[in-house]
Amino acid sequence: MASPATLSDIVTAFLDVVHDRLMHDRRGDVADYIPELAAVDPDLFGIALCGLNGRVYESGDTDHAFTIQSVSKPFVYSLALDDIGMDAVHQRVGAEPSGEAFNSVKLEPSTGRPPNPMVNAGAIVTTALVAGETAADRFDRIRNRLGAFAGRELDMDIAVYESEQESGDRNRALAYLMRSAGSLIASVDETLDVYFRQCSLLVTSRDLAVMAATLANGGVNPITGVRVTSSETCQHVMTIMATCGMYDYAGEWLLRAGLPAKSGVAGGLVAASPGEFGLGLYSPRLDHSGSSVRSVAAAQRLAKRFGLHILHRPLTLSAAEVASATDELEQGLGATQDAAAAQLLQDNADSLAVWRLRGYIDFDGAERLLLDIDAWLDERPGDADEPAAIVLDLTEVTQLQSVAVWMLAALATWCGERGLRVAAIDPQGRSLGVAGLSHAADFDAAIQETEFSAD
C-alpha cells in the first residue's frame, strides 16, 4: 500500500487497494429487465466509507449518480416505523427471511403478509404504510427522509421511473395479490407509482456511505448533525437488514461479512457497522441474487481484514475514548511521574504529544486518533526540529479490535517513513501485535523508546 500524504488518508489508501484489486473482476451482468439500467457502463466502481465524525473516505467512481432501487427499502421502512410503530407495520408485513429472490411471489399462508420489508412485496406494503393524505405527499416525505439520511436533497431519474412503469408488471402482480390477500389496503396504482419513484431517486456511493453511517450513529447524520430517526428505529432497521437485506444470499452474507446490509439492482450496496461507520458501494454487474459482484466482494474483504462482524466484538466492554493528554494534564497521565510528565509536555508542546486511549478501541476510536494526530502535525511550526515524538497511552485500553491494530500499525509505518517516533505505554502488552509500534511499561520508558530529547 502506497504511503498516503496524511495519516487520515490511510483509510483511503486501503480502499484504493481493495478497489484496484477488484477492478479486473468482470463477473455478472447489468440488470436488463429495467431497460434504462441496461445502458449503464458496467465498469463503474466506487467505494466510500463514512466515519461517525463525518469524515468520508472515497475510492473510484464515488461521485457517479445511479438510482437507489432496493437500497431505498430500509430507509422507507424506518419512516413507516416512525409513522405508525413497529407493531402496526408488522401486522401488514412479516420479519422473516424469505430464502428466495427479491421479486418472489410468496406470501404467508395464514396472514397474506409478505415475508419481510426488504423483498419487493414487503417494500410495496411498507411504502403504502407511510403517512400522507395523497400519493404525492407520501413520496415527498419519502424523498425528504432519504435526503435527510444522505445529508442532501435527492433528485429523481425520470427516464428510469418511466422505464420502471413500463416494465413493472411483476410488481403489479404482487401488489394485486397482496390487495386480494388483505395485506395491501391502499390503491395499487398509487402505491406502485410512489414505489417506482422512490426506487428512481439518484444517489452516489458517497451518499450511501453517509446514509449507512447515520444508521450506525443511532439516527444522527454525522455530517449535518441532524437527528433523522431514533436509535430504536435504527436498531429495528439494521436487524431486518442483517437477516433479510441480501435476499437469498442473506445467510451466507451474514456469515462472511457480518454487517447489516442492503443491495439494489442498479449496483448499489449499503452496509452499516454499528457504532463505527457506514459503507456505500457501487458497481453495476450483478450476481444471481441481484447484488453487485464487486460491491459484495469489496465489503467482505473489508469486513474480514478488519474483523467487523457484528458478533465478533464484545458487547460488554467500555466504549472507546481518545483524548490528548495535553488537554487533560490536571487529570494526570496515568503514570507515577505525572508532574514531571506534565511539565515535559508543556515545555515541548511542538515536539512531543501524548494521547490516552481507553476502553474498546475500534475503527471509530482509531480514526479519532489519526485525525487528532493529523491536526497536531498541521499546527506544528514549520521550523520545528525533527524528529517529533508521539506516545500512545494504552494503559486503560480493554481491547484493540482488528481494524484498530491495523490502523495503529499503519500509523507507526507512516510516522517511521517521516522520521517521527511512536511508542506505546502498554504494561499489559496489548500492542505487541502492532507491527512497528514500540511498547514500554511506563511514561519514562516510552520517552526513551522514542529517543526524544527534551529542549
pLDDT per position as a tens digit, 264-299: 999 999 999 999 999 999 999 999 888 999 999 999
Is 210 in contact with 222 (CB distance < 8 Å)? yes
Confidence class for position 436, pLDDT limits 50, 70, 90: confident
E runs forming strands in 150-264: 202-203, 261-263
Cell numbers linked to 144:
425528504
Q: Which domains does the chain have, with CATH numbers?
A: 7-306 (3.40.710.10), 321-450 (3.30.750.24)
What distance in Å separates the CA atoms of residue 264 and residue 68, rounded to the nearest whole number?
Answer: 7
Report, as an integer, the average pLDDT of 120-143.
96
Is 391 in contact with 425 (CB distance < 8 Å)? yes
Cell numbers linked to 337:
511521574
pLDDT of res. 316: 45
pLDDT of res. 89: 96
Is 102 in contact with 70 (CB distance < 8 Å)? yes
pLDDT in tens, 53-110: 999 999 999 999 999 999 999 999 999 999 999 999 999 999 998 777 676 777 888 8
E runs forming strands in 325-418: 352-361, 389-400
What distance in Å separates the CA atoms of residue 35 and residue 48, rounded to the nearest whole number?
Answer: 27
What distance in Å separates the CA atoms of residue 91 and residue 88, rounded to the nearest whole number?
Answer: 5
Q: Is the pLDDT of residue 318 over 80?
A: no
What distance in Å separates the CA atoms of residue 325 and residue 302, rounded to the nearest whole number?
Answer: 32
Question: Which DSSP symbol is given to 201?
Answer: B
Confidence class for position 313, pLDDT limits 50, 70, 90: low
What distance in Å separates the CA atoms of residue 163 and residue 405, rounded to the nearest whole number?
Answer: 48
Cell numbers linked to 99:
430464502
Q: Is the pLDDT of residue 321 over 80?
A: no
Q: Tell me which residue of 325, 303, 327 sits closest to 242, measured CA to CA.
A: 303
pLDDT of res. 399: 84
Buried b (16+ CB within 10 A) or exposed e, 319-344: ebebbbbbeebeeebbbeeeeebbeb
What distance in Å separates the CA atoms of residue 274 and residue 260, rounded to the nearest whole number?
Answer: 9
The length of the chain in residues reads 455
Question: Which DSSP symbol is given to 44?
Answer: -
Strand partners, 439: 424
What distance in Å separates the CA atoms of residue 118 and residue 39, rounded to the nearest whole number?
Answer: 26
Upstream peptide bond of 109 is cis (omega within 30 degrees of 0): no
pLDDT of res. 335: 46
Is 201 in contact with 156 (CB distance < 8 Å)? yes
